Amino acid sequence: MQIKILDDAASVAQRAAGLIASEAKVAIVDHGHFVFAVSGGNTPWLMLRELAGRDLAWDAIDIVQVDERIAPDGDSDRNFTHITESLREAPLGSQQIHAMPVTSVDLEAAAAQYAATLQRIAGSPPEIDLVHLGLGADGHTASLVPGDPVLEVTDRDVAITGTYQGRRRMTLTYPLLARARRIVWVVTGKEKAEALRRLWIGDPTIPAGRVRRDWALILADCPAATLLEGDRSITGNKEGTCV
């Protein structure tokens, strides 16, 4: 795992967008297609707006969701609502942004349906080119939250969680994340400092600490990196002025 520390959330979003654009170009040259999985969060919406302005072969890109709240279409709680808004300037067809089917009456069947969608666009078993992950103050990532049975799922790529912060969720699982060709963590805000410290040291007692670490890069802002001050392992990776 690598880490880059930048001044603020805007800097992180810009760097993340640049990295995603670079990875997209490499993947399209290599195998003609780029599949990108995106999580929610305020900084990622900035990241996607920045990405939307990049010169890319957009017709060769598919965007899938890392997780989604069980909520109606268009609800402000839905990550998909913000994803589509943030990418509105990108020349993407509606069929290229794949919403998790969380309005289905049968959520387990819907999770299996989304897993089939991933197989169709990313192979069997699916190998996503780049997965963007966030980090919660409690150490969760995607909707892999502390204490939820979904943490122990090993036979499905997509699963349904219990209630967390008032909503059940659909999420990608560890097996799918383990097959990703690249993982990029976007971590901003002082409230994430302890969770980031634990992620950086690979603490398996938080859900984020169980995600594969090879081919993973953390992009963090100065407030999130507060507890990494003095860590010699990040020497040379600090581009911000705070540490």
pLDDT tens sequence across 31-86: 999 999 999 888 999 999 999 999 999 999 999 999 999 999 988 899 999 999 99
User: In CATH, what number is assigned to the domain containing residue 47?
Assistant: 3.40.50.1360
Total domains in the chain come to 1
Written as six digits, the tokens of 195 are: 């969770």
The answer to whether residue 170 is domain-embedded is yes
* Of 159, 170, 233, nearest in space to 40 by CA: 170
Q: Please check whether residue 193 lies inside any domain of the structure.
A: yes
As given in the structure block, the two tokens for residue 70 are 């069980």
Residue 79 resides in a domain: yes
Does a structural domain hold residue 239? Answer: no
Confidence of residue 94 (pLDDT cuts 50, 70, 90): confident
Domain residues for the domain of 133 are 2-213
Is 99 within a domain? yes
Is residue 228 assigned to a domain?
A: no
237 inside domain: no
Question: What pLDDT sits at residue 74?
Answer: 87
pLDDT value at position 235? 54
The reply to whether 229 falls in a domain is no
What amino acid occupies position 132? H
Using the 8-state DSSP alphabet, how is residue 150 labeled?
A: G
User: Which phi-psi region, left, alpha or beta, contains residue 188 (left: φ > 0; alpha: ψ -120 to 50)?
Assistant: beta
